[in-house]
Amino acid sequence: MAAPLAAPQSKGGLEGVVAAETKLSHVDGQNGVLIIAGYPIEEFAGKVSIEEAAMLLWTGSLPSPEEAPLLQKELAGWRALRPETLDIIKTARNAPPIDALRMACATLSLDVSNPNDISPAGDLALAKRLLSRFPTVVAAHARLRQGLEPIAPRADLSLAANFLYMTFGVEPDPLAAKALETYWVTVSDHGMNASTFAARVIASTRSDMVSAVTGAVGALKGPLHGGAPGPVLDMLVDIKTADRAEAWLRGEINAGRRVMGFGHRVYKVRDPRAEVLAKTAEQMAGAHLQNAKLYDLARAVEKTALRVLDELKPGRNLKTNVEFYTALVLQSIGLQPDQFVAMFACGRVAGWCAHVMEQHAQDKLIRPQSTYTGPRHSALKR
């Protein structure tokens, strides 16, 4: 009898497996550090635009102060959608925003003469279109599902401010535009997360940028990856007041349910992105009384949750993650919870495109092994 085949070691979820070398971002979960292309996230988000952050990821350099306005003007020229894309969004008007974005994403190379060009120049051209058009898709979908016509983009506004204009039809609040921009930069890249890995696997086959990013959107949709900011608001609504927080939290934990906004696959201390967005949420709260009440409740719930989780889940290190304050920031600028994952994609697309470029340059097919656990029959019996 033949000796059994040696089985390679497997790790569930590829935990701890290094899948690629990258210059794009570094995540240190033990110490709560996130570095984006060389910059700590605390020194980066809120100080550069999403357009500038994207160019840093794509090219390795931040635009100079003289180049930044020219970059914004160039990217603004790619915001408009083709009629075919708008038709798809209209057809998907009743679908969740992330599904409408996934469907529309696949059409965003229709005006490219060679969408299969995976050279550095070809990838950069498509990256600029994707970053510029994702917010237009989400804004158009938001209007259509309310029975309103989409609003054409404006070239005189930043990407974030223009999104607010196209969504709400009024001059954007500068503070809200700054908050959205900070959020997008904060989530622009984050190591080898599920959606980024999906994009890199697709790109490793020498498939095109749009195919890879469309796959990434599909991965982001899953509730274990990008789907929890909305439920954070549901939790706060259920709790209602700070004095109810402890009993509510204990009830959820004792029932075996997850407390949204706490715990992370990588971070064993507070998510550094939560630190950035907590400050942004505080700034928004200071400008709006309704937001201030929700913010005060959230801070009280956070404090109680950390204490209760430490008591009931000792050693698990369930600290505040990015989703907790994402919910407050996006709610404060007038967005609905079911839009939150699509908004995540509008920021993360900068990183997805950068990883696709990096994978194309490495030109190595990603082909891991698997461990077979099925039966071994010696012969076919009938």
* Domain of residue 63, CATH code: 1.10.580.10
235 and 201 in one domain? no
Is there a contact between 241 and 297 (Cβ–Cβ < 8 Å)?
A: yes
The question of whether 26 is a catalytic residue gets the answer: no
Q: Do 177 and 234 share a domain, yes or no?
A: no
In a domain? residue 175: yes
Size (the chain), residues: 382
Pick the catalytic residue from 264, 302, 358, 360.
264
What is the predicted pLDDT for the residue at 289? 59
Question: pLDDT digits over 187-245, tens only?
Answer: 999 999 999 999 999 999 999 999 999 999 999 999 888 766 688 999 999 999 999 99
Mean pLDDT of 118-128: 97
Query: pLDDT for 166-199, tens place per residue?
Result: 999 999 999 999 999 999 999 999 999 999 999 9
**Segment holding 25, helix H or strand E:** strand 25-28
Range of the domain at 172: 25-223+337-362
Pair (166, 279) in one structural domain: no
pLDDT at 42 over 80: yes
pTM: predicted TM-score of the whole model, two decimal places: 0.92
Residue 264 annotated in active site: yes
Do both 69 and 207 map to the same domain? yes
Do the Cβ atoms of 213 and 353 come closer than 8 Å? yes
Query: Are 229 and 298 a contacting pair, CB within 8 Å?
Result: no
Question: Is residue 217, in this structure, part of any structural domain at all?
Answer: yes
CA distance 195 to 197: 5
Task: Say yes or no: 97 and 31 in one domain.
Answer: yes
What's the farthest any 2 CA atoms get from each other in the chain?
Answer: 77
In whole angstroms, how far apart are CA 11 and each of 14, 15, 124, 353, 375?
Answer: 5, 6, 35, 28, 21
pLDDT above 70 covers what percent of the chain?
95
Q: Is the pLDDT of residue 246 over 50?
A: yes
341 and 308 belong to one structural domain: no
182 and 219 belong to one structural domain: yes
Please check whether residues 67 and 144 belong to one and the same domain: yes
* Residue 46 near residue 273, CB atoms below 8 Å: no
pLDDT at 74 (0 to 100): 96
| pLDDT over 80 at 291, yes or no | no
What CATH number does the domain containing 309 carry? 1.10.230.10
Token code pair at residue 127: 């990256």
Decide: 172 and 157 in contact? Cβ < 8 Å.
yes
Question: What pLDDT sits at residue 5?
Answer: 47
Which of 14-28, 91-105, 301-315 comes out lowest in average pLDDT? 14-28
249 plus 200 within the same structural domain: no
**DSSP at 243:** G
Domain shared by 95 and 235, yes or no: no
User: Where do runs of H (alpha helix) occur along 77-193?
Assistant: 83-91, 97-105, 120-144, 159-168, 174-186
17 within some domain:
no
Residues 311 and 349 in one domain: no
**In whole numbers, what is the pLDDT of the chain averaged over residues?**
92
> Which pLDDT band, with edges at 50, 70 and 90, does 10 fall under?
low
What's the pLDDT score for residue 230? 80
Q: Which of 252, 323, 358, 360 is catalytic?
A: 323
- Asked if 205 and 291 sit in the same domain, the reply is no
Q: What does the pLDDT average to over 83-90?
A: 98
Name the nearest CA neighbour of 8 among 321, 379, 377, 368.
368
Return the pLDDT at 96: 96
What the block records as the tokens of 28 is 């240190």
